[in-house]
Chain A
Amino acid sequence: MKRPLSSFLSTRLCMLVALTAMIAAAHACYGTTPKTLCSVTDYKIFNPSSVAIQCGDATSTAGISGQGGAVYLGTDLSSPLPVTFTANPYDDNWLFLVFTPKSGPVAPILKTQTKYTITITLSSTVNGVVLSLPTSTLIDTTPTLTLAALPVGGPNNYLVSSHLAFQGLGLGSGKTLSCSLVIQNYTGTFTARPAKCRQMQADLAGVQPNQPDPGTVGTLELQTEGNDIDIQGIPYKIAELQNVLGTAMTLDPKARLGQEKAPATKDASSYYINGSFAAGRGSKPGWILDAKIAPPVGRLYGGWQFCPTALANVGNNSISGMTYTDTIDFGLSESRPFELRGNLQEIYASGSVVYETDKEFNRDNVTGVADFRYNFKNLYSPRAVETLRKFGDQQKIAKANGITLQQSDVSPPFFGYAFDIHTGVEFGGAVVDTTVKATTGKATIELPTYSIFRVVPQIHGLLEFGRLSVDAVGTPRYLAATENTVVQLPNNSLILKTVHGWNGYGVVTSALNLDSVGHFCLSATYRDGFAPPKFSRINTVQLGILMKF
């Protein structure tokens, strides 16, 4: 029977489509097939018969296992040792390898100061298909320790780590114990310095108690004691520390104990004291103290950060080119951010108590301040932050192309901006009557006590155009309670005045960076309005050159 042409073509077409689909599927399958199920990025030797290896390319090792692995001495793969091992999932992206002799009694497999190559075929079921792929890695049992600065716990804290699990020295107790850091000098002489050591090995959370987290195995916190000179030299070993293979451990010869660097600016400092003195024939000695103490203290409590503050800008007589405002503030503050959704993304709340006085202690203002800063969506985009965002985006693309991108490789945008709103209240009072003296002449006047209750809305904006930035803060302060102040007249007499209602105050600061990295900067500050506690009219422009190195 003769088939019609259309039927013949239809059948051929279907076969062609099916063949194309099969080739495409095979190609897709080939293209997505991994070369290995575990690219080893780290390993921890738990004991002479077991090792955990980290599969850096996998987020989870669930479902991956292997049997019948081979072990070789060094990198010579011609003759395997009479040992085999199995691999099973251990945690997140780790596999746990257990070594057993092929025959004879069970004995420790791994020996100290030896390199081994291990190979195994790992299997896993992916989308119903069983994948079996070989994996190999080198493990080294040389008892070497690495040393790195630990970014918590103070400047003398270091992380000591090894591929080998530690033993003794308070392992498992979580306690800090006394230990000895042995330091070597240029002649080869060893000196033991007292130090504190704490084993950092932690258990995995929740699922199986008393199982060590591989990432913390073979890690120890070292805190040096004494001054910089005491610990100067080449760190050699921690006298009491042994590894799980029973040998002492020495530090990497390249390891060094670093020294902490000072913060670069006053703002970045928790403690800042700048004292200036000058004296000369025929003039009184002068001094100026500009000091700040504002460390965030301790841990958070309910998300609130406690911070005592002490600010002083005081002096005596005058030093050419240097001025002071004669204010001393002592305060205690608590602050906490609250995350929100929608257009209003965050409220940053802070409360503080401030005692304000001067060098003579003839002002005694105590105020409580509650302030809320509101951050809105899309309104926080300074050039520095926009550069970080740009870097984050470009880094992903660069990584996909095998390019290592650094932050300095990203050009900052030309335009930047930030805008936020504050609302707050200030309350308290001048707690005692004080005598105010005129800055020139002998006039004095009594400043009676008064109450303070101010409503303080504030608008803050920042605009950046390349090297030029303009920062403006507007504070239309409303005095709900009548306050007292003293005004000095042009003839240097003093009068008592009351202040009430709206008293606005604005500050506009512009800066122009003269070089691309901001070492030199021209700045201009314009102040206009009425600022507490004097509420005298201020209308000034200050020009300056700023140098930062």
Chain B
Amino acid sequence: MMTPSTPAPPGKIVTSKPTSVHGRVLVLLQNWAKLRTLPNDTDQLTVLWAPQAAPYNPDGAQLLAKAIQAEFSAPPVICQCITVADLTQGIKCVSDLVTAVPGCPQS
């Protein structure tokens, strides 16, 4: 009989700070774009950044890459380098970023 490689508990403590990649990315984007509420998965990064006084490429993308690095490079390391090029070419919306974070190189 097959068993899960990592057994899951029947429940866990839910804290105010998000612990999933998805939740952490949303909070990170809220701080980055200075939003009042959490963004939606379908929101475009350029639209979220638009109210700022500087262009998205490279300014906003570079600040976002720095924020991602700070959030996900600490142990347990999930992601070390989502680059400015990734954020200006492949990653368009919030869900792209949520997908990309665990998919980025770890070293």
Q: Which residues of A contact B (CB under 8 A)?
A: 46-48, 50, 52, 59-62, 86, 88-94, 96, 98, 108, 148-153, 157, 159, 165, 167, 171-172, 174, 200-216, 219, 221, 242, 244-246, 263, 270, 295-296, 298-300, 303, 305, 335-337, 339, 345-346, 348, 375-380, 385, 388-389, 391-392, 395, 407
Contacts and interface: CB of A to CB of B under 8 A. Distances in A.
Contacts of A204: 12, 19-20
A336 B61 CA distance: 11
Given A244-B4, A299-B81, A150 B9 contact: no
B98 interface: yes
Contacts, number: 216
A66 B16 CA distance: 21
A270 B1 CA distance: 51
Contacts of B53: 345-346, 375-380
Contacts of B38: 59
Contacts of A46: 4, 8
Interface in B15-64: 15, 17-24, 38, 44, 46-48, 50-55, 58-59, 62-63
Contact of A167 (B4, B83, B102): B4
B42 to A, nearest CB: 9
B2 A392 contact: no
Contact of A151 (B23, B80, B86, B102): B86
A174 B90 contact: no
A474 to B, nearest CB: 20
Contacts of A295: 85
B75 to A, nearest CB: 9
Tell me the interface secondary structure of chain B in the complex.
Answer: loop
B49 to A, nearest CB: 8
B19 A92 contact: yes
B91 A151 contact: yes
A89 B78 contact: no
A300 B104 CA distance: 14
List the 5 closest pairs (A to B, CB-CB), nearest first: A151-B90, A88-B11, A299-B81, A388-B50, A47-B4
B21 A213 contact: yes
Given A165-B4, A388-B46, A205 B10 contact: no
B37 to A, nearest CB: 10
A64 to B, nearest CB: 9
B19 A205 contact: yes
A150 B20 contact: no
Given A380-B53, A392-B48, A96 B6 contact: no
Contacts of B13: 207-208
Contacts of B76: 202-203, 205, 209
B1 A152 contact: no
Contacts of B78: 202
Contacts of A303: 62, 66
B80 A150 contact: no
9 contacts: A88-B11, A151-B96, A152-B103, A157-B103, A208-B9, A211-B12, A216-B102, A296-B85, A335-B62
A331 B92 CA distance: 30
B94 interface: no
Nearest to B96: A151
A300 B103 contact: no
Nearest to A161: B99
A249 B56 CA distance: 40
B84 A296 contact: yes
A153 B48 contact: no
A98 to B, nearest CB: 5
Contacts of B89: 151, 263
